[in-house]
Amino acid sequence: MKKPVSRTAPGLLAEMAALRPDHEFIVDGGARFSYGSFQRTVGEYARGLYALGLRRGGRLAILMDNRHEWLTAYFAAMRLGAEAVALSTWSTGAELAYQLDHAEVEFLVAEENLRGRALGTLIADIGQAATDDIGCLAHVIVVDGPAEGGWTAFGDLPELGRDLRDPAADADAARPDDTACILYTSGSTAAPKGVPLCHRGLIDNMWEIGERMHLLPSDRLWFAISMFWSFGCVNALFTTMTHGGTIILQHRFEAGAALKLIEDERCTMFYGMANMAQAMAEHPLRANFDLSSLRTGATIGAPAQIQRIVDLGVCEICNVYGLTEAYGNSAVSDARAPLEQRLHSCGRPLNGVSIRIVDPDSGTMLPAGNIGEIAVAGRVTPGYLNDPARTAASLDGDGYLRTGDLGFLDAEGNLVYRGRLKEMVKTGGINVAPAEVEAVLMRHGAVEQAYVTGLADPKLDQAVAAVIVARPGHTLDPADLSAHCRRSLAGYKIPRHYRFVTAGDLPLTATGKLAKNRLGELFDPSGGQV
């Protein structure tokens, strides 16, 4: 498989449609599109959006589950040179009001029913939450709903554009350095950040990721991670597409349906989190399904979490490191590297990406093996949307993005992730990296998962605390764990508090990742051992 020549998303679609017009691209239940048929569909919908007034540089937001209409709207907007704004279906009216206003969105494509909420009700909530009238939102286009109240039915777009005579309606207006999409990162203490990503990076970065996975056009992606997440509409989509593969859509993750879909469609790629693998492994009908087609994919997590995905059958799973601002992933382990290496490191930086480990305070580079802040250059966002202050604070003079993540580069140049800088526990005036303590706890034979956080302490400022999930059939004792830690860690790093839970008790984000900022909620107010 040769690297695509195109450097825009619609150009890539056209290139793949020319190379493999009849090769299956999208499977969504009974709806199936080849690269050629999807290319034609995108053209029809782009003409309809042009007829409504969408132009180069305009913004179209998408709010729906993992459906083929999501992808149609995405590529149609990008073909016109417009920017797609991916919105979370979990968001409240207030959150959507902020993002629509902040991105100055003109067009919204949304499902009529969003996780049990009627679109009309949600639009009313958005209006009530907006500090100002969202005057930029000129058009609401509804999927699976009627064209009423000034809305446009998504299915009517091809007819709207059918009789256009303007050649611009059929032109591919996207350029490699144009913004292709804007994604919003979640913020715990501040407003979410809008992250623009350019067409060129979508192609170049994802090609390199696919090479680490050794992808071929015969590969088929099980796509159940949320499309609005960068792991979805940037990473999984374009990694598969640059290699001419097929994507199999699951609107929302449900373990039983996932098992059936993977078997029926002979999916080879797993993109997802360990909690998904666990839910499938523990499903009462798991033994009835053949998942032997699974081979590779991408995930993030501790060694035990990644092992859980391997145990499901994804023997060549890749451990990855990345963030939205850096086009999804910046370091990816090779799918055929030894499993031990893939369990404990994220692999080497991608070709075209540079990673430094720097002192969090001074910004000076640290030698290999030293834990510091991860800084990434090569393929990063040009800057946060409408936020020059945050951009200046995040990008240094050499063009490196200060990620706020902790890690180190080993002797072979593999990146080892060690948690978030903000998660650092300051106990008795000394910094403790949670991931360092977690790694030691995980070496205990009875520990399946371990997560470390800080609890408020009147004497120490923060006390090191650990949330532990035991292996099936094992019981754990705080004194035993502390003795185990004492053999490898300085005294101040040893947890003073333990909480023993099941995997189902762990707090997760809407995208299935561990919500580390909520670990403290698992402890009783006194912080005592449990």
Joined tokens for residue 419: 């948690």
Q: Which two tokens stand for residue 281?
A: 């492994």
221-225 mean pLDDT = 97
pLDDT in tens, 256-283: 999 999 999 999 999 998 889 989 999 9
- Given a cut of 70, whether residue 63 has pLDDT beyond it is yes
In a domain, 360, yes or no: yes
| Residue 237: closest CA among 491, 45, 25, 5 | 25
**Residues 79, 147 within the same domain:** yes
373-423 pLDDT per residue, tens: 999 999 999 999 999 999 999 999 999 999 999 999 999 999 999 888 888
Query: What distance in Å separates the CA atoms of residue 462 and residue 519, rounded to the nearest whole number?
Result: 14
287 pLDDT higher than 70: yes
Using CA atoms, how far apart are residues 100 and 59, in angstroms rounded to an integer?
Answer: 10
Same domain, 406 and 280: yes
Q: Are residues 358 and 380 in the same domain?
A: yes
292-308 pLDDT tens trace: 999 999 998 888 889 99
DSSP alpha helices (H): ranges in 114-153?
A: 119-129
Please give the share of the chain, as a percent, with pLDDT higher than 70.
Answer: 96
Q: 30, 93, 28: which is closest to 66 by C-alpha?
A: 28
Find the helix packing angle between 199-213 and 9-19, rounded to 10°. 50
Cα 527 from Cα 530, distance rounded (Å): 9
* DSSP 8-state symbol, 291: -
- State which residues form the domain around 92: 25-174
DSSP H or E stretch at residue 180: strand 179-185
Q: What confidence score (pLDDT) does residue 426 get? A: 80
Rg of the chain taking only CA atoms, in angstroms: 24
404/434 same-domain check? no
Write down the pTM of the prediction: 0.86
Assess if residue 190 is contained within a domain.
no
Asked whether the CA dihedral 510, 514, 517, 519 is positive or negative, the reply is positive
356/497 same-domain check: no
pLDDT-derived band at 189, boundaries 50, 70, 90: very low
- Does one domain contain both 34 and 132? yes
Q: Are 182 and 385 in contact (CB under 8 A)?
A: yes
- Over the stretch 425-474, which tens digit does the pLDDT of each residue have? 888 777 788 888 998 899 999 999 999 999 988 888 899 999 999 999 99
**Same-domain pairing of 414 and 432:** no
Name, of 111-115, 314-318, 365-369, the range with top average pLDDT: 314-318
- The identity of residue 177, as a single letter, is D
Task: Copy the structure tokens of residue 141.
Answer: 């286009």
CATH number at residue 467: 3.30.300.30
| Cα–Cα distance list, 416 to 349, 358, 409, 464 (Å) | 11, 14, 6, 22
In a domain, 367, yes or no: yes
My answer on whether 471 and 499 are in the same domain is: yes
Based on the fold, state whether residues 138 and 250 are members of the same structural domain: no
Query: Domain check: are 202 and 85 in the same one?
Result: no
Domain boundary among the residues 405, 420, 435 is at: 420
* CATH code, domain with 218: 3.40.50.12780
- The pLDDT, as a whole number, for residue 129 is 80
Tokens encoding 330: 């910046």
Residue that finishes a domain, picked among 420, 444, 478: 420
Query: Does 11 fall in a domain?
Result: no
Domain boundary among 402, 420, 438: 420
The Cα 196–Cα 83 span in angstroms is: 9
d(CA 142, CA 335): 41
Does any domain span residue 327?
yes
510 has a pLDDT exceeding 80: no
Element (H, E) at 93: helix 93-102
Please indicate, yes or no, if residue 14 is contained in any of the structural domains.
Answer: no
Query: What is the 8-class DSSP label of residue 231?
Result: I
The answer to whether residue 528 sits within a structural domain is no
CATH number at residue 86: 3.40.50.980
Residue 342 half-sphere exposure toward CB, CA atoms < 13 A: 26
Q: Starting at the earlier edge strand, list the strands of the sheet with 296-299.
A: 31-34, 24-28, 246-249, 220-223, 269-271, 296-299, 316-321, 331-332
Q: Does 182 fall in a domain?
A: no
Q: Are residues 223 and 285 in the same domain?
A: yes
Q: Are residues 403 and 496 in the same domain?
A: no
Structure tokens at 71: 């992808």
pLDDT above 80 (res 137) = yes
Strand partners, 417: 407
The overall average pLDDT reported for the chain is 93
Higher pLDDT, 13 or 191: 13
pLDDT in tens, 2-54: 999 999 999 999 999 999 999 999 999 999 999 999 999 999 999 999 999 99
**Kind of pairing, strands 269-271 and 220-223?**
parallel
> What pLDDT does residue 527 have?
44
- Number of domains forming the structure of the chain: 3
